[in-house]
C-alpha cells in the first residue's frame, strides 16, 4: 500500500505566504482521507481479522490507483486489538486525537457499544464494524454507525424463510446452537419471536463454550432432540465444525445451517464431507471465479495476487465485507465532497442513509438501499462435496431477512 505524506498545516500556510507577493496561486493540496481500522489479527477471531485486513488493503489499493475519492487518497491505519474492547477504545481515541479522522472501523459489537455514547456526544465520527448485532439498528443509540449488510437476526430470518419455503412434512423443528458470548446469544429473543410467527418449533437451545471443549454432550443432545434443521450462530472457525462431524457420526440427519462468520468457505471446507448440504446465510457474494460483474472481476484479480492464500475462486466473508465497506465509503464521501459538505459523522451518515438502489458492481446480488443504518438483504449459499470436490453455490435469491 502506498504511504502518502502531507505537509503539516503550518508549513502550508507559510508556503502560501511566501509566494503571495509574487502573485502566484496554487491549488490547495487535496487532503488524504484518514481511516482507522482495528482488527483481531491475533486471538480467536484471527482467521477473520487477517482476511479483513487483506480485503481492506486490496480495496484501498484499487481505489487509490483509480483516482482515489475525488482525487483524495485513502490513508488506512491498521492495528491489532486482539478482540479486546479496551484496546479498541484506546486505538479509536488515539486516532481521533491525531485529527482529521474521516472513518473509524470497529472490531465487534462490544467495542461499538463501548465507544458509541462518547462518539455521539464528542467525536461524531462515521463508524462501521465487524459486528452485526440486532440492536445496532437503533439509530438514536448508534447515531454514526452503519452495518454493511443485515443484522444477525436478519440472517437467521433468511434461514427461517428458507425453511418455510422448502420444508415438507409437518411442523419444522429447529435447534439453535450458539456460543456463550454476547455474539452468540444475540439472536435468541428475535429467533423465538420469528419462529412463533412462522409456526416453527424450537426443540433445543444449546449453548456452548466459544473455544476448546469436548463437544460430545452437544452432539448427544442434538441426536435426542432430532431437529429437522440445526442453526449455528456466534462462531468463527471453532467448535461448530467439531459438533457437525460428531453429530453426523451419531446419526443426526437434520440440515446444518450457519450465519456470517461460520460460513467462510475455507472453514466449512475444513469440516470435510460431513458438512454436505450446509447452508450459510451471508451478507456478500462469495463466488468470484468466472463472474462477469465488474467489481467481482476486479476482486477476483486481487485474490489471485494473495500469495499467502491458495486461490480457490471463493472469497472469505470478512475479506468481501472489507471491499464492500471501502466502496460504500468511496461513494458517500464522494457525494459529500461534490456537495461541498464537511466530512463529519452527521454529513456522512446522512449520505449513507440516502443511498438508494446502489449498484455495487456485484458485491451485493441486488441494488441495495440502507434502512436503519443497515442493508437488510442477504443470500443463502449451499456448500457441497460432489465427487469429492468442494463447491459453493447460491441456494436462495437475494432477499430481506426481516
Question: Is pLDDT at 115 greater than 80 in this prediction?
Answer: yes
d(CA 325, CA 158): 22
Question: Is pLDDT at 46 greater than 90 in this prediction?
Answer: no
**What pLDDT score was predicted for residue 44?**
74
Determine the angle formed by the axes of helices 216-225 and 240-249, rounding to 10 degrees: 60
d(CA 125, CA 112): 12
Q: Domain-by-domain residue ranges, the chain? A: 9-149+296-370, 152-282+379-400
At residue 163, the 3 state secondary structure works out as: helix
Residue 39 · residue 78 · CB < 8 Å: yes
**What pLDDT score was predicted for residue 235?**
87
Question: Is pLDDT at 328 greater than 80 in this prediction?
Answer: yes
**What pLDDT score was predicted for residue 107?**
82
Question: Is pLDDT at 1 greater than 50 in this prediction?
Answer: no
Mean pLDDT of the chain: 90
Question: Is pLDDT at 116 greater than 80 in this prediction?
Answer: yes
**What pLDDT score was predicted for residue 30?**
65
| CA 43 to centroid of chain Cα atoms | 18
Residue 115 · residue 137 · CB < 8 Å: no
Residue 344 · residue 324 · CB < 8 Å: no
Q: Tell which phi-psi region holds residue 270, choosing left (phi > 0), alpha (psi between -120 and 50) or beta.
A: alpha
pTM: 0.89
> Minimal CA–CA distance to 328: which of 369, 289, 294?
369
Across 258-269, average pLDDT: 90
The one-character DSSP state at 21 is T
Question: Is pLDDT at 381 greater than 80 in this prediction?
Answer: yes
**What pLDDT score was predicted for residue 4?**
40
The residue among 11 and 148 whose pLDDT is bigger is 148
Q: 33: which 3 cell numbers?
A: 482521507
> Minimal CA–CA distance to 4: which of 80, 81, 60?
60
**What pLDDT score was predicted for residue 384?**
93
Residue 96 · residue 34 · CB < 8 Å: no
Q: What is the CA radius of gyration of the chain?
A: 22
Q: How confident is the model at residue 112 (pLDDT cuts 50, 70, 90)?
A: very high
> Minimal CA–CA distance to 267: which of 143, 372, 387, 381?
381
DSSP for 314-367 reads B--HHHHHHHHHHHHHHHHHHHHHHTT---SHHHHHHHHHT--SB--TTSSSS-
**What pLDDT score was predicted for residue 23?**
31
Looking only at the bridges linking them, the beta strands covering 201-208 and 229-233 are unpaired
- 152-282+379-400 folds as Rossmann fold (3.40.50)
**What pLDDT score was predicted for residue 15?**
35
Q: 26: which 3 cell numbers?
A: 496554487
Instruction: For residue 325, count other CB atoms closer than 10 A to its CB.
Output: 25
How far is CA 249 from each of CA 237, 240, 262, 277, 279, rounded to the nearest angstrom?
A: 20, 14, 21, 16, 19
Residue 238 · residue 220 · CB < 8 Å: no
**What pLDDT score was predicted for residue 300?**
97
Q: 266: which 3 cell numbers?
A: 475455507
User: Does this chain's domain 9-149+296-370 share its CATH topology with 152-282+379-400?
Assistant: yes
- Percentage of the chain exceeding pLDDT 70: 92
Q: How confident is the model at residue 238 (pLDDT cuts 50, 70, 90)?
A: confident
Across 26-30, average pLDDT: 42
How far is CA 53 from each of CA 57, 141, 204, 267, 358, rounded to the nearest angstrom?
A: 6, 28, 37, 18, 25
- Percentage of the chain exceeding pLDDT 90: 77
> Minimal CA–CA distance to 175: which of 258, 249, 272?
258
3.30.420.40, 3.40.50.2300, 3.20.20.70, 3.90.180.10: which CATH number matches 9-149+296-370?
A: 3.40.50.2300
Question: Is pLDDT at 3 greater than 60 in this prediction?
Answer: no
**What pLDDT score was predicted for residue 17?**
33
At residue 260, the 3 state secondary structure works out as: helix
> What percent of the chain is helix, strand and coil (3-state, nearest 5)?
45, 20, 40
Question: Is pLDDT at 278 greater than 70 in this prediction?
Answer: yes
Amino acid at each position: 500500500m502506498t504511504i502518502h505524506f502531507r505537509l503539516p498545516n503550518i508549513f502550508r500556510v507559510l508556503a502560501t505566504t511566501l509566494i503571495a507577493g509574487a502573485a502566484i496561486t496554487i491549488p490547495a493540496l487535496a487532503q488524504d482521507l484518514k481511516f482507522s481500522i482495528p482488527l483481531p489479527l491475533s486471538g480467536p477471531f484471527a482467521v477473520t481479522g487477517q482476511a479483513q485486513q487483506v480485503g481492506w488493503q486490496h480495496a484501498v489499493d484499487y481505489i487509490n490507483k483509480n483516482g482515489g475519492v475525488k482525487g483524495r487518497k485513502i490513508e488506512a491505519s491498521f492495528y491489532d486489538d486482539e478482540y479486546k474492547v479496551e484496546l479498541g477504545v484506546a486505538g479509536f481515541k488515539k486516532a481521533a486525537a491525531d485529527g482529521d479522522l474521516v472513518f473509524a472501523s470497529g472490531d465487534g459489537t462490544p467495542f461499538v457499544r463501548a465507544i458509541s455514547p462518547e462518539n455521539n456526544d464528542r467525536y461524531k465520527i462515521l463508524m462501521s464494524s465487524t459486528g452485526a448485532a440486532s440492536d445496532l439498528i437503533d439509530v438514536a443509540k448508534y447515531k454514526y454507525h452503519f452495518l454493511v449488510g443485515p443484522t444477525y437476526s436478519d440472517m437467521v430470518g433468511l434461514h427461517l424463510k428458507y425453511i418455510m419455503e422448502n420444508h415438507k412434512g409437518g411442523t419444522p423443528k429447529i435447534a439453535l446452537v450458539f456460543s456463550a458470548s454476547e455474539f452468540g446469544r444475540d439472536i435468541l429473543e428475535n429467533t423465538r419471536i420469528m419462529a412463533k410467527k412462522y409456526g416453527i418449533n424450537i426443540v433445543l437451545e444449546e449453548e456452548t463454550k466459544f473455544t476448546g471443549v469436548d463437544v460430545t454432550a452437544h452432539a448427544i443432545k442434538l441426536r435426542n432432540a432430532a431437529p429437522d434443521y440445526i442453526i449455528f450462530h456466534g462462531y468463527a472457525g471453532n467448535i461448530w465444525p467439531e459438533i457437525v462431524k460428531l453429530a453426523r457420526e451419531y446419526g443426526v440427519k437434520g440440515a446444518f445451517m450457519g450465519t456470517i462468520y461460520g460460513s467462510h468457505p475455507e472453514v466449512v471446507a475444513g469440516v470435510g464431507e460431513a458438512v454436505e448440504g450446509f447452508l450459510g446465510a451471508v451478507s456478500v457474494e462469495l463466488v468470484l471465479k468466472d463472474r462477469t460483474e465488474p467489481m467481482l472481476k476486479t476482486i477476483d484479480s486481487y485474490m489471485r495476487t494473495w500469495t499467502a492464500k491458495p486461490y480457490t475462486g471463493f472469497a472469505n466473508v470478512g475479506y468481501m465485507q472489507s471491499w464492500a465497506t471501502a466502496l460504500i465509503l468511496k461513494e458517500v464521501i464522494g457525494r459529500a465532497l461534490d456537495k461541498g459538505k464537511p466530512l463529519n459523522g452527521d454529513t456522512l451518515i446522512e449520505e449513507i442513509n440516502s443511498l438508494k438502489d446502489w449498484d455495487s458492481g456485484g458485491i451485493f446480488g441486488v441494488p441495495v438501499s440502507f434502512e436503519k443504518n443497515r442493508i437488510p438483504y442477504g443470500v443463502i449459499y449451499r456448500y457441497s462435496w460432489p465427487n469429492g470436490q468442494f463447491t459453493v453455490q447460491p441456494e436462495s435469491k437475494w432477499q430481506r431477512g426481516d
